[in-house]
Structure 1
Amino acid sequence: MSELAVPASRSEALAPMDLNPMGKGTLSRKLVLRVAGLVMLLALLLGTASTVAVRHQLIANVDAKLATAMQSPDRYYDTDRKNFGDRMPPGTEVGQIIMMVSPSGDQGRILIDDSEQLATTVAQQLSSFSSTEPKTIHLDGLDKDYRAASRPTPYGTQIIALPLDVVNHSLKQLVITELALTAAALVGAILLARALVSSALKPLNRLAATATEVSNLALDRGEVALPQRVADADADPANEVGRVGYAFNHMLENVEGALATRQESETKVRQFVADASHELRNPLAAIRGYSELTRRSRDEMPQDTAFAMGRIEAESTRMSRLVEDMLLLARLDNDPSLDLTETDVVEVVLNAVSDAQVAGPTHEWSVDLPEQPVVARADALKLHQVVANLLANARKHTPAGTHVETRVSTDSGNAVIMVIDDGPGVDESIKDTAFERFARADTARAHNQEGSTGLGLAIVAAVMEAHGGSARLDSQPGHTCFTLTIPLV
């Protein structure tokens, strides 16, 4: 099923857009998120680098203390220099481990926090350690990290390990501080970037508002003025946003010039059509008059001459109708104002259907009317012409015996007139352009010898638009419906 409504040349007005700056898919959101991501990446990189540098420095300090301890081992031995004393000598690091492994593999005493049981567990893990360079090890018995080194002596292998508790604690505090600073920097970057981006994109929002105003203007016909322009401050070609505004203003100037040229051309064409139609009425009336005069003596004329005079009369009559239709459309284009009065739509439809019955006795005509009067604010003569055009259209373009029904009703404050027939339907070639001027099918619905000017439905659309109403077509094989709507009083 195809449906065509007139007037339908303009789409619905575009409402002003209340855009959420941080809405999904907005440029503001993308810029803010990218700035925030960049800040977070830089903060993480700087934090990681500083953490690595601080750890390296702290480990270097521990290694220096370990080297000092390894250079003066004698202070750890007892008086017979065969084992350690009972306690750590003065100046020893807290948590420092001292161990001696004899050449035979026997473990000497290990001094660590005066805990023999813990020392035994640690000694088992340290006994296999051998490295003259400081290395970081994890002692399971203490569940701590140590920096350890070994040194061969005449009495065996000496192993010294310094705890990394201070190093690990310092690094933990540093990481926590860095994460807190990163979070604060990220929040600050988001707030600052949002404010800066919103401020920077305000000219684009003002440009969008101007474009919305222009898009809601009636540009399809008539004289068009485009006073809307982007402000000079937003049309500075020295920056990217200003270049967009400058280009938009230039485009509006070109569009305004093109619309003015179009209107001037249309005005000339309409004036020419109106003048030509008006001037053609008199010679056509004379031709029709003289051709009708010849009817009295056509029996005395040669057959060819009589046939030619009949054709002249028929074609002059058809051309007169065409001229009248063109003159009516030209007048509606130049001055669409009508003589609007309170009009009984039911009465107009009854008169039009009565005329159609006389003109098309081979068709079946019926009406479906409400019991109450339907009063609309309309030009009675023009409304009658519109209904008559639709009934004539059904009569001309459907075969004899076609049923044509005319209905009148009300809907949502409008008077509704429907002309329905069960003919073959509107031809597909003109279904979408049926209300345009000179729209005629090559083969469809042409079941009448009267012919068509192609202006009947154009007049219907123009008159309905002048009334503030509409005309709509719904057609398929076996069902064609023209619907007219006019505001009620």
Structure 2
Amino acid sequence: MTFLRLPSLPRPRGIHSLRGKLTLANVGLLALGIVAATAISLMGMRHYVLGQIDTELTKSRDSLVRSQLTLREIDSLSALAVVRDRLLPHSGGDSPNPDSVFAAVDRHGTVLTVAGLKPTDAQQALASAVHDPAALVVAPQPRDIHLRGDPYRVTGARLADGTYVLLARSTRVLHTGMAKALRLDLTIGTLLLALFAALTMISVGRRMRPLEDMVETSSAIAEGDLTRRVPSSRETTLEVEQLRTALNSMLHQVESAYRTRERSAAQLRHFVADASHELRTPLSAIRGYLQLYDKGMLTDPVERKRSWERMMAEADRMGRLVDELLVLARLDQRPELRFRTVDLSRLVQDAAEDLRAQQPERPVTVRADGALLVRADESGLRQVLGNLVTNVRVHTPAGTPVLLGLEREGEAVRLCVTDEGPGLTEDDATRVFDRFFRAGRGAGSGLGMAIVHGVVAAHGGDVTVRTAPGEGLTVTVTLPERAHDRDHR
């Protein structure tokens, strides 16, 4: 498998990163909260202060109405108000307008002279701002006006003689306080937003560290390091930890699948190379004899017969090799075996008799605890026994004793084929089930033990070897009593 080397990706920064978006979202929500809280507080302040001013103006108006006074009767009061306005023209701070203004007007809105005193500028401005005194008198609540640029609340009352009295109260303090409160809220809110943004960036960065580790791990795996895993982090959440565990499990499966694929590909290449080599040898021999025959060099009948026999032997060898390759191919495809009840002890006896017939001088011993019935494919088991016996016959001297043992072990049956031959080295023992493996320069195709392993594995069993140089070889086949019966019923 070829890995693509990916360029190192920089960590995402700015508002387009997840960290930036989360920070902007949190800061935006906090900003909305601050704006809402500021608006509610300012509205509450305005409502409270205006309520106080309106209450005072309404009480003054109601007092004038209930008293049924005339203009003449309130001359002294008006005179005192005019004197106060003249003596204290700047009582409202930096503004030339006073905090309270009292003026008497007729029904046309003209300011009347009270106690012989000329109306002040504030009284003139108040009369000019109120265009219809009669409408102001019947209004249930005071209303807003502006006197020379300053905000006021004004109400009116009608005296017994038809004269209108205008009462105004400055709200400049309210607007100044609201402006100061707004500036204070904006300053504190800005500081809170900056602090919250910094804390959010730090917190999100710590929480995002496992995701950055996942990106680094993925990049390392893409470059060929299949052993990399996402490390655990102390600063993590349940969802991120679940993602890390799932990703590590997936990476383990990917690594296992890749290793298996590489191993299978290597075995396939080795198998194809060995099969080509094994088939080329008999073909080369047959081609050589045919070339001799074609050139007329086999004139002697004895040589011609011997060449014919050699070609037939090589053809038979090639045929057996192809048959064994077909058996292995079918085993690789996991064919459906024909399971039925088989007496394994009878198959062992038949294999022993075949070996005695082929090599009468070889001591053959059979140990079996009576009839042992298993659910298995009879032809496959016969092939296993035939290959094991053939392996002993080909690779050990003719006088070497052989023991075929059969016993029940729980719900399994154990078959042992033991010889007292030269044995195998440790390296050869680890490769004894490889295809086309032959210890030293041994005879045979090197597929017999591979077929044994494949057939036993198809039955759900296991096969092992125990050997050492000069101590013989023991092949142990363990089969379940009801091998794959449910899968092939």
| TM-score with structure 1 setting the length | 0.51
Matched residue, 1:125: 129
Matched residue, 1:14: 6
Contact 2:145 2:151 in 1 (8 A): yes
- Give the distance between the partners of 1:192 and 1:44, measured in 2 at CA: 20
Structure 1 residue 204: Cα displacement? 1.3
Matched residue, 1:289: 288
Structure 1 residue 295: Cα displacement? 3.6
Matched residue, 2:203: 196
Structure 1 residue 211: Cα displacement? 1.6
Q: Does 1:240 align with 2:239?
A: yes
Question: What is the 5 A alignment of 1:307-456?
Answer: none
- Give the distance between the partners of 1:279 and 1:9, measured in 2 at CA: 31
Matched residue, 1:149: 155
Q: Which runs of 4+ in 1 moved over 6 A?
A: 74-79, 89-93
* Distance verdict in 2 for CA 1:77–1:166, change over 3 Å: farther
Unaligned runs of 5+ in 2: 86-90, 93-97, 298-489
Q: Does 1:58 align with 2:49?
A: yes
Unaligned runs of 5+ in 1: 1-7, 219-225, 299-489
Structure 1 residue 198: Cα displacement? 0.6
Contact 2:3 2:224 in 1 (8 A): no
Question: What is the 5 A alignment of 1:158-177?
Answer: 158-177=165-184
Q: What's the CA shift string for 1:81-111, capped at 9, x where partnerless?
A: 4683163477999431212233576542489
- Give the distance between the partners of 1:197 and 1:33, measured in 2 at CA: 12
Structure 1 residue 160: Cα displacement? 0.6
Contact 2:142 2:154 in 1 (8 A): yes
* Distance verdict in 2 for CA 1:120–1:23, change over 3 Å: closer
Q: Does 1:46 align with 2:37?
A: yes
Q: What's the CA shift string for 1:175-219, capped at 9, x where partnerless?
A: 11111111111101101111111111111112222222111107x
Matched residue, 1:31: 22
Matched residue, 1:209: 216
- Give the distance between the partners of 2:283 and 2:194, measured in 1 at CA: 85
- Percent sequence identity over matched residues? 23
Matched residue, 2:230: 230
Contact 1:210 1:228 in 2 (8 A): yes
* Distance verdict in 2 for CA 1:79–1:151, change over 3 Å: closer
Contact 2:230 2:248 in 1 (8 A): yes
Q: What's the CA shift string for 1:412-443, capped at 9, x where partnerless?
A: xxxxxxxxxxxxxxxxxxxxxxxxxxxxxxxx
Matched residue, 2:100: 96
- Give the distance between the partners of 1:239 and 1:110, measured in 2 at CA: 83
Question: What is the 5 A alignment of 1:252-271?
Answer: 252-271=251-270
Contact 1:110 1:123 in 2 (8 A): no
Structure 1 residue 287: Cα displacement? 3.0
* Distance verdict in 2 for CA 1:191–1:179, change over 3 Å: same
Q: Does 1:85 align with 2:79?
A: yes
Matched residue, 1:313: none
Structure 1 residue 72: Cα displacement? 4.4
Q: Does 1:251 align with 2:250?
A: yes
Q: What's the CA shift string for 1:228-250, capped at 9, x where partnerless?
A: 222244798x7011111111110
Contact 2:81 2:102 in 1 (8 A): no
- Give the distance between the partners of 2:68 and 2:118, measured in 1 at CA: 17
* Distance verdict in 2 for CA 1:115–1:250, change over 3 Å: farther
* Distance verdict in 2 for CA 1:163–1:293, change over 3 Å: same
* Distance verdict in 2 for CA 1:239–1:31, change over 3 Å: same
Q: Is the radius of gyration larger for structure 1 or structure 2?
A: 2
Partner amino acid, structure 2, of 1:144:
D
1:184 to 187, 191, 214: 191
Q: What's the CA shift string for 1:341-380, capped at 9, x where partnerless?
A: xxxxxxxxxxxxxxxxxxxxxxxxxxxxxxxxxxxxxxxx
- Give the distance between the partners of 1:235 and 1:145, measured in 2 at CA: 57
Report SS of the residue matched to 2:143. Answer: strand
Contact 1:51 1:171 in 2 (8 A): yes
More helix per residue: 2
Q: What's the CA shift string for 1:2-33, capped at 9, x where partnerless?
A: xxxxxx9442x22443314x334211011011
Partner amino acid, structure 2, of 1:146:
Y
Greater relative CO (CA pairs within 8 A, separation 6+): 1
Q: What's the CA shift string for 1:103-141, capped at 9, x where partnerless?
A: 576542489x997345334322324143343333233x5
- Give the distance between the partners of 2:235 and 2:176, measured in 1 at CA: 58
Report SS of the residue matched to 1:154. Answer: coil
Q: What's the CA shift string for 1:269-293, capped at 9, x where partnerless?
A: 1221121111122122123323323
Contact 1:99 1:160 in 2 (8 A): yes
Matched residue, 1:277: 276
- Give the distance between the partners of 2:114 and 2:194, measured in 1 at CA: 53
Contact 1:75 1:89 in 2 (8 A): no
- Give the distance between the partners of 1:123 and 1:108, measured in 2 at CA: 10
- Give the distance between the partners of 2:69 and 2:185, measured in 1 at CA: 41
Structure 1 residue 56: Cα displacement? 0.5
Contact 2:102 2:123 in 1 (8 A): no
* Distance verdict in 2 for CA 1:180–1:136, change over 3 Å: farther
- Give the distance between the partners of 2:248 and 2:234, measured in 1 at CA: 10
Partner amino acid, structure 1, of 2:11:
L
- Give the distance between the partners of 1:40 and 1:105, measured in 2 at CA: 49
